[in-house]
Amino acid sequence: MHFKCGFVTILGKPNVGKSTLLNKLVGQKVSIVSPKPQTTRNVVTGILNGQDYQVVFLDTPGIHKVKNSLDEYMEKSIEKSLEGIDLILYMLDGTKKFQQEELEEVSAYANGKTPVIIVVSKVDDSSMDRLYPELAKLNVLDKVKEIIPISSFTGQNLDVLKEYILKFMPEGPAMYPTDSVTDSSERFLASEIIREKSLWLLQEEIPHGIAVAIDNFIEGDDLTKIDATIFCEKENHKKIIIGKNGEKLKKIAEESRKAIEKMLGHKVFLTMWVKVKEKWRDSDLLVNNLGYNKKDLD
């Protein structure tokens, strides 16, 4: 029996379900999810292991227009994720009309050297009467290898998607330990968990101008001590994050601590602060200092 191993990049607009699909495929949460667009900022690696295969998925930030230094980092990370891969999964939201820009984009990828599979997500939330006309728009994309409607929520067609993915994986040894599900550090995952809980609990109160820095991460056998700082761009945002009598920040910390404890498998002592860095997304220096360093992608 020949072992297969390959790399797959997941592309698509913000909020089409890329991170949800990745988590579902690898069977564990490795990429944070929220209702807000552009939740994913870094390329996150998820690893699917089987008896005779290993598939390394690269979950990318949503493709969007560049407005600031943080956007430049995300755009560069997408470009980097396309180097030396074996397959592209281009995701379209099955609950919305496919935009011409998306069709042109996927067509451009399909005309390149890397095979492309279109994944139409969220079909459990879309009626067939509405979905069929949209799927018909894809008929002109003759260079696309497959078009697979899926639901990450119900699991519909995920096995079919896996089968097609494996068809494009080359023979070769595993690139990571076969019990790994991600190459992200626990420190990075902890910061992402805190950012995810912040996005969920703040909802529409705060725009995307928050970042999380892990100041200390001291792991013991039975207890990990973490000091973390949430950075925002305005003083009034800081007040919202902290909340009346500190209740909002306390809730964010509580939810984050529980999730980090689940990840690490032991108790966590989490201390959190909130600080203001005005217009940090526009500053190369501040963006780099908060963990989004474009030089790391060179």
Write the pLDDT tens digit of every residue in 124-157.
Answer: 988 778 888 898 889 888 899 999 999 999 999 9
Query: Is residue 177 assigned to a domain?
Result: no
Residues 161 and 239 in one domain: no
Query: Is residue 178 assigned to a domain?
Result: no
Residues 125 and 218 in one domain: no
Query: Is residue 287 assigned to a domain?
Result: yes
Residues 30 and 79 in one domain: yes
Q: What angle do CA 77, 213, 199 make, to 5 degrees?
A: 75
pTM for the full predicted model? 0.80
Contact 211, 44 (CB under 8 A): no
Q: Is the pLDDT of residue 186 over 70?
A: yes
Residues 280 and 222 in one domain: yes
Residues 158 and 191 in one domain: no
Query: Is residue 121 assigned to a domain?
Result: yes
Contact 215, 195 (CB under 8 A): no
Greater pLDDT, 190 or 295: 190
What is the predicted pLDDT for the residue at 1?
65
Query: Is residue 242 assigned to a domain?
Result: yes
Residues 70 and 116 in one domain: yes
Residues 214 and 100 in one domain: no
Residues 160 and 194 in one domain: no
CATH number at residue 219: 3.30.300.20
Number of domains in the chain: 2
Query: Is residue 175 assigned to a domain?
Result: no
Residues 67 and 197 in one domain: no
- Separation of alpha carbons 248 and 136, rounded Å: 47
Query: Is residue 181 assigned to a domain?
Result: no
Q: What angle do CA 194, 200, 206 make, to 5 degrees?
A: 90
Residue that is written with structure tokens 């698509």 in the block: 12
What is the predicted pLDDT for the residue at 119?
97
- Structural domain including 191 reads 186-297
CATH number at residue 119: 3.40.50.300
Query: How confident is the model over 65-122, as pLDDT tens digits?
Result: 666 667 776 677 767 777 889 999 999 999 999 999 999 999 999 999 999 999 999 9
Greater pLDDT, 120 or 38: 120
Residues 66 and 148 in one domain: yes
